[in-house]
């Protein structure tokens, strides 16, 4: 049985095809997996566990059904859904993971991250990340009405798009030295992450040892699933149907 990894689905009512494809994965192939790991940015925005809106409600129900069918679900916070709390763990039947964390995959210790911590050349983003991960900031934000939080999320997404357009591609990608440092610090030779939307498998050298970095793809133009079993790793693309409008 395979362990499945996904990241950067950015599920949003304006892009129902991605939600439909993910729900189909949960109801079908994921039922044959030994575990499902979601390494951040499952949603385009998560403004708090008290938001009853879609697609969060439907996705949490489907994840809970998968968990109840005997497939463990693991959920990591990303840069868009960093406000996950314990309520979403209960609603989705998932275990929240720290970022980073090390898991054993078929006797291979593997470091899991969302990936944004590796983009150290983007100083402005790292400063923003420190701000919004501060518990006091989060407490103040979550105390606001849902409408105000939705407005902030929309403004933050627009600012992020503008920020990205003004940066060189190398700045928005991982810093190679940061990758080597995190592998060295955790004493592992394999890293799986998302965030950069650059799906690939990279061979590395860490202190004379062969290492590997696997980057999960986003779900904008197609889906992206990493399957890991005792025989190795396969990074697969999934077709998405054409979006015809917001989900109802």
**Counting every residue, how long is the chain?**
248
Residue 202, annotated as binding a ligand: no
Question: Is 80 marked within a binding site?
Answer: yes
CA distance 11 to 147: 19
163 marked among binding-site residues = no
Judging by beta carbons within 10 Å of its beta carbon (0-12, 13-18, 19+), is residue 222 exposed, middle or buried? middle
The CA distance from 228 to 248, in Å, is 34
Rounded distance, CA 121 to CA 113, Å?
A: 17
41 belongs to an annotated ligand binding site: yes
198 is in an annotated binding site: no
197 is in an annotated binding site: yes
129 has binding-site annotation? no
Is 8 annotated in some ligand binding site? yes
C-alpha–C-alpha distance, residues 150 and 166, integer Å: 25
Q: Is 99 annotated as a binding residue?
A: no
Beta pairing partners, 206 = 209
Binding residues: 8, 10, 41, 79-80, 114, 122, 160, 164, 195, 197
Q: Report the binding-site residues for substrate.
A: 79-80, 122, 160, 164, 195
Instruction: Provide the annotated binding site for Mn(2+).
Output: 8, 10, 41, 79, 114, 195, 197
């Amino acid at each position: 049985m395979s362990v499945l990894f996904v990241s950067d689905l950015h599920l949003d009512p304006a892009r129902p095809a991605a939600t439909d494809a993910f729900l189909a994965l949960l109801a079908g192939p994921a039922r044959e997996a030994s575990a499902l790991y979601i390494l951040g940015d499952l949603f385009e925005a998560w403004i708090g566990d008290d938001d009853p809106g879609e697609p969060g409600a439907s996705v949490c129900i489907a994840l809970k059904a998968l968990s109840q069918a005997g497939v463990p679900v693991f959920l990591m916070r990303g840069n868009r859904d960093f406000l996950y709390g314990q309520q979403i763990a209960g609603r989705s039947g998932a275990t929240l993971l720290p970022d980073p964390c090390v898991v054993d995959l078929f006797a291979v210790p593997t470091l899991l991250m969302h990936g944004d911590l590796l983009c150290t050349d983007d100083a402005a983003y790292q400063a923003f990340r420190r701000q919004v991960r501060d518990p006091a900031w989060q407490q103040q934000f979550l105390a606001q009405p849902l409408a105000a939080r939705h407005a902030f999320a929309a403004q933050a997404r627009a600012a992020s798009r503008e920020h990205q357009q003004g940066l060189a591609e190398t700045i928005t990608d991982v810093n190679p030295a940061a990758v080597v440092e995190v592998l060295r610090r955790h004493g592992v030779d394999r890293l799986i992450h998302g965030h950069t939307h650059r799906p690939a498998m990279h061979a590395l050298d860490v202190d004379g040892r062969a290492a590997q970095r696997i980057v999960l793809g986003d779900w904008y133009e197609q889906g992206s699933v990493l399957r890991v079993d005792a025989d190795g790793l396969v990074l697969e693309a999934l077709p998405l149907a054409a979006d015809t409008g917001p989900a109802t």
